[in-house]
Amino acid sequence: MSVFAPMTFSALGLPADLESAAHALGLSQPTEVQAQAIPAVLRGADVFALAPTGSGKTAAFVLPLLQRLRAEPAQAPRRVRALVLVPTRELVAQVGEVFRNLGRHAPQPLRVAILFGGVSVNPQMMGLRGGADVVVATPGRLLDLMQRNALRLSHVATLVIDEADRLLDLGFADELAAVLAALPRQRQTLFFSATCPDAVRALAEPLLRAPVRISVSAPALSKHDGSPRAPSPAIVQRVIEVDPQRRTMLLKHLIQEGPWSRALVFVATRYAADHVAWKLHKAGIFATPLHGDMSQGQRSEVLQQFKDERWDVVVTTDLASRGIDIPDLPVVVNFDLPRSAIDHVHRIGRTGRAGASGLAVSFVSAETEAHWRLIEKRQGLTIPREQVPGFEPTPTEKIPAPGANPGTGGIKGKRPSKKDKLRAAARAAGGL
């Protein structure tokens, strides 16, 4: 296994002003994914990059694209030469901000258009008058603007697909195919993702030409579905057993006793985000919800205020699990468990970013223990269970040992079910 040796951005082929811009954003030296991707992008190669959350993937394609684009004379009206597709509105805004901040001091600044749904299309159409050099967009809004003849993709030289696995979720695959059909066949294609299910590889392979393959400190992949086995070692994980109805009180206790300066709390539904945030706020904790029922302006405001440390807790759905960069976020809490091991990696990847340490806490009950074991299995690890004094879960009744009088199954008026008997027989057969 090769050992990554730190280097400078200039050694990778970037000019002094871009290196200075990177330093101004806190990028003192290239990360491993940047060190491998930047030279490949500069020479025009296709790239398939798999790297964990917080490893610097955005700058890995933004910096070299800025260098390549400004080396070519801009035309009037400007033609879209680089297209970045991302799955969420928040990530569009974030990637667009990185483009603008890193390219701010260029001799001839590029025009960057950020396009996403959930807001009026008219200001975005006005912003495209005179063209754009770079477009960062969600597929749906991009197609909408194409149908309105607000932009064309016939001159795109580089396509970036960021968070590629999420773009293949239900509802994205057809839109992505429509966008790809509108692009020139001869182009540079860059894939970036933190996880790589088989569906991502199936999409990537036909679109890439002799790509440079980058795998940087990436989670090991299972043999069957590409699920990650382990998150970044900088993230300490805790699993706390608690009854579902006592999770909010436990969360309040942990926040106050931690003490945690800030926490991002993941729940399963929009209603839960509102309800848990309200309960915490009522208990004196400065908490607010974040979910898809909020307007884009409200969502952007909450995220910016959280980054500015004006909120102690944000309770959110998986809306905030991908690509969102919250500097120095100390804690992520899985109030409700994620649907899959991949979602778990993305959720807890909001902390422990850019080499910092972080804490991820997951609440597990008797009802969700089997699901958590599956997540552990996919990650290839086992995390000790904890119980917090005063919040111990209610003991659950165990299946009677083989040969023992089953009685009523330990619950008044209820006999062991057929499933309980089958489980007991299976234990006996397995010698457990």
- In the chain, how long is the greatest CA-to-CA distance? 86
pLDDT tens per residue across span 81-137: 999 999 888 889 889 989 998 988 777 788 999 999 888 999 999 999 989 999 999
Tokens matching residue 416: 């062991």
End-to-end CA distance of the chain: 41
Amino acid found at 431: G
More confident residue, 313 or 349: 313
**Domain range summary for the chain, segments of one domain joined by +:** 10-215, 235-386
Q: In sequence order, what E strands does 46-95 have?
A: 47-50, 82-85
pLDDT tens per residue across span 309-339: 899 999 999 888 776 778 789 999 999 999 9
pLDDT (0 to 100) of residue 79: 92
74-83, 108-117, 149-158, 376-385 — which one is most confidently predicted on average?
149-158
pLDDT (0 to 100) of residue 427: 61
Cα–Cα distance for residue pair 284/262, rounded to 1 Å: 14
3 state DSSP class of 62: helix
CB-count exposure of residue 210 (10 Å: 0-12, 13-18, 19+): exposed
In the predicted model, is pLDDT for residue 360 greater than 90? yes
Mean pLDDT for the stretch of residues 179-204 = 87
pLDDT > 90 in the chain, percent: 49
What is the residue whose two structure tokens read 């209603």? 271
In the predicted model, is pLDDT for residue 196 greater than 70? yes
Tokens matching residue 241: 């057993």
Cα–Cα distance for residue pair 270/88, rounded to 1 Å: 16
227-236, 266-275, 303-312, 325-334 — which one is most confidently predicted on average?
266-275
pLDDT band at residue 397 under the 50/70/90 scheme? low
Lowest mean pLDDT among 30-39, 81-90, 139-148, 230-239: 230-239
Return mean pLDDT, the chain.
84
pLDDT (0 to 100) of residue 166: 75
Kindly calculate the radius of gyration of the chain based on its CA atoms and give it in whole angstroms.
Answer: 24
So what's the architecture of 10-215 in CATH? Answer: 3-Layer(aba) Sandwich (3.40)
pLDDT (0 to 100) of residue 405: 53
pLDDT (0 to 100) of residue 87: 86
| Segment holding 160, helix H or strand E | strand 158-162
Fold of 235-386: Rossmann fold (3.40.50)
pTM strictly above 0.85: no
pLDDT band at residue 228 under the 50/70/90 scheme? very low
Cα–Cα distance for residue pair 94/96, rounded to 1 Å: 5
pLDDT tens per residue across span 17-65: 899 988 888 788 898 999 999 999 999 999 999 887 777 889 999 999 9
What is the residue whose two structure tokens read 């805790």? 238
pLDDT (0 to 100) of residue 44: 95
Cα–Cα distance for residue pair 123/63, rounded to 1 Å: 27
Q: In sequence order, what E strands does 204-286 have?
A: 212-215, 235-241, 263-266
pLDDT (0 to 100) of residue 411: 38
